[in-house]
Amino acid sequence: MPSPNTASTLMNRLQKISEESLLALEQAKLDGRPAIGFYCLYSPVEIAVAAGAIPLPLCGTRNDPIEAAETILPRNLCPLIKSSFGYAVTDSCPFFRMSDMIIGDTTCDGKKKMFELLARYKPVEVLQLPQNQDTATVLPAWRAELGRFKNIVEQLTGVEITRERLVAAIDLLNRQRKAKKMIMDLGKQDPAPLQGSLMLEMMFRVGYLADKENTIALLQEIAEEAAKGSFRTESAQDRKRKRILLTGVPVGVGSEKVVKIVEQCGADVVAFENCSGYKQAFQIDLEKDPMDALAEQYLSTPCSVMSPNHGRFALLEEMISDFSVDGVIDLTWQACHTYNVEAFSVNAFIQERFGMSTLHLETDYAESDTEQIRVRVEAYLEML
C-alpha cells in the first residue's frame, strides 16, 4: 500500500520546484537568456524552445487584476482577456515581466484589440490565424505565418533554428505532452484516482517550469503514484460519484470555481476537453518536415474560433466514451461569443449521439454567482 504521506510529499515537491524554477528563471534572465510569453494553444512553443528561449504561459486566470484592467478595457469583456491585460497594467505577474516578447494570435476580436494595447507594455507579435481548418486553402498561408514567427524568434535570440534543433524541441515537448496525458488519462479509471481540481492545479503549475526534462520526470512520478491510489482512497462513496466532463473555455488556478462546486456537490470532473486539458494532449509527427508538421498540428486545434469546428465534436465523442462520463458541463466565460454560440450545437450533438443533456454555464472569475451555479449544478446532477 502507498504511504499516506506520498501525495502530500509530491505536492510539496511540486510547490518547491515551482519556487526554485522562478528563481532559476530570474537567473536565466540575468544571464541573458530570452523568454517569450504565449497566450494561446495555437502558438507553437517548439519554435521558442528550438532557439534556446524560455516559453512562458501568460493567460490570466485570476480575478485580482481585472479591476485595474477595467480602467482601460470595457467591463463587458471576457474575464480571461481582462485578467491577462490586468497583469500588464499592474505589473503583478513575474512571467509577464520576464518576457522579452509576447506572442498573440487572431483568435477572437477581444484578444486582437487587447494585443494592440498590450504593445504599450511589451513588444507584441500577433500571428494571423486562419478562421477555418480547410488545409487545402488556408494551410499554406498558416505555414508561411509560422515561418515569419520563426524568423522573428531567430532575430530575438540570435540563434539559427535548424531542422535538427526544431526536431529536438518537438521531441522534447511531445514527451512532456505525453506525460501530461498520462495524468489526464487517470480520469478513465472508476473511481478516478485524482480529483479534477487537483489535476487542474498540477497541469497549471507544471506549465511554468523551465526545466522540461525535470518536469517530465515529475509528471511521470505523479502519474505512477496516483495510479497506486496515493492521492485518493477508494471507497463505496467514491464509486457513487457522478462522472463529469468539462468542456468549453480554459480554466486554471483562480478560475476553477465550477470544478470545485461540482466536487462539493458530490461529483467528479474526470475529464477536461478544453485547451487547459485534453486539447493539448497531441503528438506532432516527427517523420514530416518539422515546420509542416507544426503548421498542420496547431491549425487542427479544435477551438470555437474555427468555423466550422468539427474537431471539437469528434474529440467530445471520443472523450465521453473513453472516460465513461455521466454528464457534460459546458463552461463559457461571459462575453466569449464563439463558445456561447457553439453551446447550442454542442448540446444538440451530445443529446443526439449519447441521449444526454448538457449543462451550459456562463460566468466570470468573480465569486458573486457561486450559489446560483451551485443550485444549477445540484439540479443537473440530480437529473443525471
* pLDDT tens-digit map of 135-172: 999 999 999 999 999 999 999 999 999 999 999 999 99
Neighbours of 47 (CB within 10 A): 28
Higher per-residue pLDDT: 219 or 4: 219
Domain, as residue range, for 126:
6-164
Q: Which pLDDT score, from 0 to 100, does residue 10 have?
A: 85
Say how far apart CA 300 and CA 294 lie, in whole Å: 10
* pLDDT tens-digit map of 4-57: 577 788 888 888 888 898 999 999 999 999 999 999 999 999 999 999 999 999
Report whether 294 contacts 46 (CB < 8 A): yes
Instruction: Say yes or no to pLDDT of 59 above 90.
Output: no
**In the predicted model, what is the mean pLDDT of residues 303-313?**
97
In a domain, 112, yes or no: yes
**In the predicted model, what is the mean pLDDT of residues 179-197?**
95
CA atoms within 13 A on the CB side of 28: 21
In a domain, 139, yes or no: yes
* pLDDT tens-digit map of 316-342: 999 999 999 999 999 999 999 999 999
Q: Which pLDDT score, from 0 to 100, does residue 1 have?
A: 45
Say how far apart CA 313 and CA 25 lie, in whole Å: 39
pTM: 0.95
Residue 307 three-state SS: coil
Entry field: residues in the chain: 384
How many domains are there within the chain? 1
In a domain, 195, yes or no: no
In a domain, 349, yes or no: no
Q: What is the 3-state secondary structure (H, E, C) of 38-86?
A: ECCCCCCHHHHHHCCCEEEECCCCCCCCHHHHCCCCCCCCCHHHHHHHH
Report the share of the chain in percent with pLDDT over 70. 97
Say how far apart CA 166 and CA 154 lie, in whole Å: 12
In a domain, 290, yes or no: no
* pLDDT tens-digit map of 106-119: 999 999 999 999 99
In a domain, 266, yes or no: no
In a domain, 140, yes or no: yes
228-255 b/e (C-beta count within 10 Å ≥ 16 → b) = ebbbbeeeeeeeebbbbbbbbbbbbeeb
Instruction: Say yes or no to pLDDT of 243 above 50.
Output: yes
Torsion of CA 323, 339, 119, 75, to 10 degrees: -120
**In the predicted model, what is the mean pLDDT of residues 182-189?**
96
Domain CATH code at residue 81: 3.40.50.11890
Helix runs in 60-193, H state only: 66-69, 79-90, 94-98, 109-118, 135-157, 163-184
Instruction: Say yes or no to pLDDT of 236 above 50.
Output: no
In a domain, 233, yes or no: no
